Amino acid sequence: MRTFASIDIGSNSCRLKIARVVQHELRTVFEDREVTRLGASVFETGLISPEAMANTIRTLKRFHKAVQLHSVDRARAVATSALRDSRNSRAFRAWVKDETGWDVEVISGLEEGRLIHRGVVDWEPGTRGRCVLMDLGGGSCEVILSEHKRIEAMVSLPLGAVRLTQEFLRSDPPTEEEIGRMKQFIARELRRAARRVDATKVKLAIATSGTAAALAEASAAMAKSTKNKGKAAAEREPNTASARDVRRLTDKLAKMNNAARGAIPGIGTRRSEIIIAGAHVYAELLEHYRLPGFRYSQFGMRDGILSQMLAEEDVRTSAHQAFERERWAGVLELARRYGTDPKQMEPVRQHAEQMFHDLATVHELPEEYLLWLESAAVLRDVGKFLNYQGHHRHAQYIVASSELYGFTPQQRVVISAIARYLGKSRPAPEGRTMRDVPPSEHEWVKRAVVLLRLAVSLNQDRASDVLKVKTYVYPKRVILELYPGRTGAELELWSLRKEADYFREVFRRDLLVTLP
């Protein structure tokens, strides 16, 4: 049985979850969590403090011992807002690598939201319908509109509890002026969110993270202590908080000092330092979207990481299908954003897929390169949005720099390199693009480039119907037999024969192109 570990390095806390695959499903075997405040100094100075680094490293070393104890087959460490914003994140990642052997992956806010969504909808019951997910971390807040377990819209906002506390709340308890400035900032960011995520008619809100858990427990305790606790308190669902109760609790917390806040059930001494900012964000979110309240979910990004690891390694799971849908939807969305014509990109994608399968014994590429090759086929023309002149270079930059759900930065670099070399230039280790590609992938990229060049050559005449091609593989040569469309195949024949020299250079076989 395979065992996976996910390590979530957040701005406020670090979390570890270890799960074992049992009959194609994940079963949790160990969890751990520690508040480390990694982002506390980042939001003031732009740097992770030595103390925060040391505290976090101690926690990660403890996590590493647990990973070894449970004989984990694969571990993935992911960092979010603090490392996105800090200027010395490279030094911290090098320290983690030295102490644990883990390569820390710094993800964008939107990728963070995608993993949170995947973790909640895969692990939390009752998320099949239309709902809005809210995750408030130390550095950022993700708002996700979900329907039928698919993301409809998403936004990442700089409204983390640690960030807002550091920037706005200097006094204890905070002054009215400090609260007022923070509320203005939250309102401004929520206006930006409203343009991206329209959740005004959604009835179910699911909140994750420690702040949501604290608010749910504290509001329940507050309801029980009121004079009219009777029926309302008895009928209250566990792990829920109404918008009214969150607002009342938020106003109450703002008038209390840190010691008094820490004494409230569910909050505690560590959470009390940042609960005012977090409570205000949740109160404003619920009121902004006119939500009746939220239901707290214990699941989040670490669970999404585990789901993705399962999806990548077990094609028989529903998680794999959902993961592939999300990744391909991201590719198509990027193509649409830059005005690529689906009628032009689909025949090239089909031929790229065919070349991958027909020439499998020739190129010997890993299976994951099929998706990367198809993605490059769809995105190869996005650079024309900037300028037709040099559009291959522009496409490489756009793909490598854009958000693509489910693809790591390294995978985006590989896709962008495959899409880059469709003109006169060729992949070279010293080239600007290939310098960003891991050396272990250089040979694979060259082979994928050849396959995409063949697919593009098979679609020279945009006005004609899609050509059919048969492939014959022999020890010393490959024959492509073209079946002309209504307008012939002369242009494709000419273009494919131009690729013969490079084909021979990469695969050490002759390429012959014929008509029946």
What is the distance, to the nearest Å, from the Cα of residue 265 to the centroid of all Cα atoms in its chain?
34
Joined tokens for residue 405? 């759900």
Confirm or reject CATH 3.40.50.300 for domain 125-298, answering yes or no.
no
Rounded to an integer, what distance in angstroms lies between the CA atom of residue 361 and that of residue 356? Answer: 9
Taking alpha carbons only, the member of 368, 159, 417 closest to residue 278 is 159
Q: Do domains 3-108+302-309 and 125-298 have the same CATH topology?
A: yes
User: Domain 3-108+302-309 has what CATH class?
Assistant: alpha beta
pTM above 0.75, yes or no: yes
Distance from C-alpha of 96 to C-alpha of 155, rounded to nearest angstrom: 29
The whole-angstrom separation of Cα 265 and Cα 506 is 66
DSSP state for residue 435 in the 8-state scheme: G
Q: Where are the domains of the chain?
A: 3-108+302-309, 125-298, 315-461
**Interatomic CA distance for residues 408 and 404, integer angstroms:** 8
Long-range contacts of 343-346 (CB under 8 A, 24+ apart): 344/381, 344/459, 344/462, 345/377, 345/378, 345/380, 345/381
Helix (H) or strand (E) holding 34: strand 25-35
- Walk along the chain (516 residues) and give the pLDDT tens digit of each residue: 799 999 999 999 999 999 999 988 899 999 999 999 998 888 888 899 999 999 999 999 999 999 999 999 999 999 998 999 999 999 999 999 999 999 999 988 888 998 999 999 988 887 878 899 999 999 999 999 998 888 888 999 999 999 999 999 999 899 999 999 999 999 999 998 888 888 777 888 999 989 999 999 998 888 777 655 554 555 567 789 999 999 999 999 999 999 999 999 889 888 899 999 999 999 999 999 999 999 999 999 999 999 999 988 887 777 788 888 888 888 998 999 999 887 788 999 999 999 999 999 999 999 999 999 999 999 999 999 988 888 999 999 999 988 888 888 889 999 999 999 998 889 988 888 898 899 999 999 999 999 999 999 998 865 556 789 999 999 999 999 998 877 778 888 999 999 999 999 999 999 999 988
Distance in angstroms (rounded) separating the CA atoms of residues 420 and 229: 66
Show Cβ contacts of residue 66 under 8 Å, excluding neighbours closer than 6 positions: 16, 18, 30, 32
Collapsing DSSP to helix, strand or coil, 41 comes out as coil
Encode 173-188: b = buried (16+ Cβ within 10 Å), e = exposed.
bbeeebbeebeeebee
Class of CATH domain 315-461 = mainly alpha
User: DSSP secondary structure string, 202-237?
Assistant: --EEEEESHHHHHHHHHHHHHHHHSTT-HHHHHHPP
Residue of 433, 469, 462, 454 whose CA lies nearest to 507 = 454
Cβ distance 181 to 168 under 8 Å? yes
